[in-house]
Amino acid sequence: MKNETEQCDGTDGVGAHQSCSDTCTLNNLPYCGDKIVNNNEVCDGASQACQSGDYNGSQACNSACDGYSLCQAIEFCGDGAKNGSEQCDDGNTVSGDGCGSGCQTESGGGGDKGSLKICKYEDADGLASTRADRLGVNNWNFNVGDGLATSSQPTLTDGCAVFSALTPGQYLINEESRTGWYYLEPFGGWATTTVSANQQTAANFYNARFGKIYGYEYADTDGVASTTSDRTGLADWTINLFYASATATPLLTATTQANGYFEFLNLSPNTYWLSQDLKASWINLASPASINLLSGETKADNNFVNAADNGQGGGATYCGDGLKQSPNDSLLGGPANNGLEDCDGGDGVSSGYSCNSQCVLVANQTDDGGTSGVGGGGAYVFDDLILTNINVGLAAESTETSIIITWLTNKPATSRVIYDTITHPDLSTSSPPNYGYAFSTDLDPNKVTGHSVIINELTPGTTYYLRPLSSASPEKYGAEIAVTTAGSAVAITPVEQVLGDKITKPATGLILGQKVAAKPNGKVLADTGFKPSEFMALILILLILLSLIAFIKIKYLKVDGRHRCWLKKTLIFNQDLFIYQRADIYFKNR
């Protein structure tokens, strides 16, 4: 695909009789008709001089470029110029005026008249210095006058008009003016010439027509320049026109209309190129090549094709465009787009899974009729470990700079969160353990299916990008989520939950006021309920403390001659539980 700096790429930008080089520049291939004698050609376009009897002539190159046609005389009796064996030529073949019909001098004189041959040419490249590109223009009116009388006549099919039997002297010639044409030579369409007796004086006029360049500015939805059905016009974009030899200051600028159309009018023949003012968050897919504009030409479909930059080099994404979306897309398209797709077509599909019509990964059927995984909205699938229902919220009983991130896995796995103040949308070239992220919480080695991690002491008013990681061997990472800390709350970028049970409340984390068991400074949450073994351990600690207190009291209790102290204790020991049953102290008078 050709870009702005290339003349071609592959077949893109390659015209007839051209090829594209390895450096993406155009090569012009030789062919009959290119006006260059190549290979086995005898001629190509140009004619050659020849002799036809007593007169000079011209031979045209034939259509096969392998020879010339018959010689055609370009001089003749009556053309106003004495040539060959002519004794005179007064511009006519009438006898009795001093120059006879065979251009021989008649007795009695009278051969003192001259003629003026005026030819009108359109110059294709707009350069009067080049001649091979000229074509005669018929039916173009000229006026000739000597100050006493004026005569007019149009040019014939060869583009020329002959004014005969003119008295020798000076004549003023001017041509008609037509809309869309401009003068090359002579300046202003006026010329002065001198007519001599028995001769024909030539006067040539060169003109060119203004041309037009137009095109469209397009937005390409799927980000593929080769498809055209998904293009829409872009309004209010700026297009710049330059001469090919100038790149600093535009010759002209145009603003695109509602349908993306732009045009440049009244252009003289030249080589031009176009540029666009590419707007932010857009990328260019295709631009027109340089434009060689000839006299009177209209160059159409000089189009710019752009796509909205979604961070993946594509257009405004939607389910079905073949591009897996990211939560960090700068421009999201389509009403069903929530900014997060598991997959799209073949993009994002891993071994053992397929992408369905809702852009959700689903497990392929196994031989025994089961499935090799599960599907669902917001799921990121890696091999057979699935991270889904990823949420972030404000941690309960914490400051506005503490957040909690929760997620589910389809089988027991460890818990860890990596985070940073800059986004890392693509981890394919990053390395563990942090995959380019600046920070990581401690690894919780306990393998669970419901995961919760609190991150403390974040900077207020700062956007963080978080990504959960779980390991069931090997470690896999989930979707990146953005969250912004604020003065009194956490601004959350929500992720739609589809698969599995909700974790507390969607996209808000735990409920404010709910107690959570957490270790400070980014430690992982333990289970919020007590396990039986944990309850027994607590009871054991309490019993040990009570026994120590009782021992201290017995050892240091004062007993004098008037009092005695008896201590009755009973401790019953079970297999893994101490139960303090009874301890009575009796005091008696002696």
Nearest alpha carbon to residue 218 among 196, 239, 197: 239
Q: How many C-beta neighbours within 10 Å does residue 539 have?
A: 13
What's residue 572's pLDDT?
40
CATH 2.60.40.10 in the chain: give the residue spans: 75-209, 211-308, 386-528
User: Does the pLDDT of residue 120 top 80, yes or no?
Assistant: yes
Structure tokens at 189: 């369409």
Q: Please, which residues have CB within 8 angstroms of residue 341's CB and are 6 or more apart in sequence?
A: 317, 319, 324, 325, 348, 359, 360
pLDDT digits (tens, 9 = 90+) for 63-83: 889 888 888 888 888 888 888
Range scoring the smallest mean pLDDT among 149-153, 189-193, 255-259, 550-554: 550-554
pLDDT reported for residue 489? 43
Helix (H/G/I), strand (E/B), else coil: 482: strand
Q: What is the mean pLDDT of residues 306-320?
A: 61
The predicted-structure confidence for 401-430, as pLDDT tens digits, reads as follows 788 888 888 788 899 999 999 999 888 888
Condensed to tens digits (0 to 9), the pLDDT of residues 535-558 reads: 677 888 888 888 787 777 665 554
pLDDT (tens digit per residue) in 3-13: 888 889 888 88
Residue 98 — left, alpha, or beta (φ > 0 → left; ψ -120 to 50 → alpha)? left
Predicted confidence at residue 503, as pLDDT, reads 37
Supply angle C-alpha 397, 400, 406, rounded to 5.
70
- Which of 3.40.50.300, 1.10.760.10, 2.60.40.10, 3.30.70.1520 would CATH assign to domain 75-209? 2.60.40.10
pTM over 0.75: no
Output the CATH code of domain 386-528. 2.60.40.10
For the chain, percent of residues with pLDDT exceeding 90: 30
Second CATH level (architecture) for the domain 211-308:
Sandwich (2.60)
The percentage of residues in the chain with a pLDDT greater than 70, rounded to a whole number, is 73
How far apart CA 376 and CA 342 sit, in angstroms, is 9
